[in-house]
Amino acid sequence: CSQRPTLLVMRATPSVLLELLRARLWVIASLVALVATLAALALVWLDEATESLGLALTIGPDSARAVLATISGAMISFTALVFSITMLVLQSASTQLSPRVVRTFLRGRFSQVVLGLFVATFVFSLLVLASIDEGDVPQLSVVGAVGLVLLAVLAFVSYIDHMAYDIRPTSVIESIAAEARAVIESVYPVAASTAPEAPAPPEALDRHAPGKGAEDLTVTWSAPAGYVQSVDRERLLAFTEEVGVHVELQVGSGSFLVPGQPLLLVRQPGGTISSTQAGLDELVRVGPERTMSEDPALGFRLLVDVALPALSPSLNDPSTAILAIDRLHELLSLLQGRVIRSPLLLRADPDTYALLPTPDWDTYVRLATAELGLACRALPQVRGHLLAMVVSLQRGAAEERQPALRRAQAEIEGDPTVR
């Protein structure tokens, strides 16, 4: 690393881009508004080109202006009112469940489509209104605006029904679990029954070996702070090939990274350089919050966040906590049948490799049981349910995964002798 490696610009993975776009209300609304603009221009042009479309209803200029002005003003006011009320409902739901589950509602495709329809009706009506002059009224366009209003009313009724269903704890928990299942299947695609034997840990992993550890070259993070949302593995392997030695990433998806924090250890003598000097500012993508695109542990964290308030004396809702435990059971059962390699070994060639820190089986078990085991000791129903989950997992777990489950069982039972 005496010379700065060639900078390879990272392109965000499709899953990360999808994650970012799905959480933005404006994306679909903007696309639908663009479609509404094109549709308005096309219909106005069609009205002018055909002159007479044979419509049974003939609307005069003054009536058309009044109708369209009413629609435009009402739709923008209606949109603001509906989503102001929605935010109040979400605030109430976040108090009872967890503030972090609001992302589940914001990512809801149906809510985004309804918002887009409201915006589209406003944009369409406004553009048609601007096209009306004293002697020419685009009849078809005016009828189209009225049709959009009727469609928006039906969408509003459906939205109320949809929202009432989605704010239930059952729906929130299922939504989180469904997303976590998809991420687990993506991050851990190999079934344990079909996996080849894992390679032996490389010798360079031994930090206490002579010449290792303190003498390694350290690359520190020099870009703005944030949560690691994704790692560019191709860039990491390219850097490994450039330096020709072993490289170990110090942060994984979900970690919080601050300037000056070690980003990489390079297994060659050296001091400390910044990620900018090494051309590695784009190695990891950071953002203001964690995303689940490459971070299955976030799914466990969100389910626990829902269960913990339900166990508090202020809410006293053990049924919600049990629902969350059942989904944690499902996710652990899914992980139980997958190969979990921690750290993850990426080989550039037979002599060099890169290591990525990833959660191991013990980490997932502790995420699912440690805090809930402490919080539910005064609630025999929840405590028994959590204990039954651990016992059930022990029946099908491989021998190397039994110690984590036994420790979890001992912690739930309050047995300090098991470590």
Is 347 within 8 Å of 247 (Cβ atoms)? no
Is 332 within 8 Å of 312 (Cβ atoms)? no
Q: Which of the four pLDDT bands, split at 50, 70 and 90, describes residue 361?
A: very high
Q: Which of the four pLDDT bands, split at 50, 70 and 90, describes residue 10?
A: very low
Query: What is the rounded average pLDDT of the residues 66-76?
Result: 89
Which structure tokens are listed for 282? Answer: 């784009």
pLDDT tops 90 at residue 178: yes
Instruction: Give the separation between CA 246 and CA 76, rounded to whole angstroms.
Output: 58
Residue with the bigger pLDDT between 12 and 386: it is 386
Instruction: Give the separation between CA 70 and CA 67, rounded to whole angstroms.
Output: 5
- Confidence (pLDDT) at 199: 52
Taking only the tens place, the pLDDT of each residue in 203-256 is 444 443 434 455 789 999 999 999 999 999 999 998 998 888 889 999 999 999
Provide the 3-class DSSP secondary structure of residue 355: strand
Range scoring the smallest mean pLDDT among 2-16, 69-83, 133-147, 350-364? 2-16
Q: Which of the four pLDDT bands, split at 50, 70 and 90, describes residue 50?
A: low
Query: What is the rounded average pLDDT of the residues 68-78?
Result: 88
- Confidence (pLDDT) at 396: 86
Q: Which of the four pLDDT bands, split at 50, 70 and 90, describes residue 151?
A: very high
The share of the chain scoring above pLDDT 70, in percent, equals 82
Residue with the bigger pLDDT between 58 and 359: it is 359
Q: Which of the four pLDDT bands, split at 50, 70 and 90, describes residue 335?
A: very high
pLDDT tops 90 at residue 135: no
pLDDT tops 60 at residue 382: yes
Q: Which of the four pLDDT bands, split at 50, 70 and 90, describes residue 168?
A: confident
Instruction: Give the separation between CA 304 and CA 310, rounded to whole angstroms.
Output: 10
- Confidence (pLDDT) at 21: 57
Kind and range of the H or E run holding 220: strand 216-220
Give the chain's mean pLDDT: 82
Instruction: Give the separation between CA 181 and CA 184, rounded to whole angstroms.
Output: 5
Reference 121, options 87, 162, 74; nearest CA is 74
pLDDT tops 50 at residue 37: yes
Amino acid type, 97:
L
Query: What is the rounded average pLDDT of the residues 145-164?
Result: 88
Quick one: 150 exposed, middle or buried, by C-beta within 10 A (0-12, 13-18, 19+)? exposed
Query: What is the rounded average pLDDT of the residues 137-148?
Result: 86
pLDDT tops 80 at residue 183: yes
Query: What is the rounded average pLDDT of the residues 380-397?
Result: 94
Residue with the bigger pLDDT between 95 and 185: it is 185
Task: Output phi, psi for 6, to 5 deg.
Answer: -60, 130
pLDDT tops 60 at residue 277: yes
Query: What is the rounded average pLDDT of the residues 360-375?
Result: 94
Residue with the bigger pLDDT between 307 and 51: it is 307
* Count of beta carbons in the 10 Å neighbourhood of residue 222: 17
Is 394 within 8 Å of 404 (Cβ atoms)? no
Is 382 within 8 Å of 369 (Cβ atoms)? no
Instruction: Give the separation between CA 279 and CA 135, rounded to whole angstroms.
Output: 65
- Confidence (pLDDT) at 138: 79
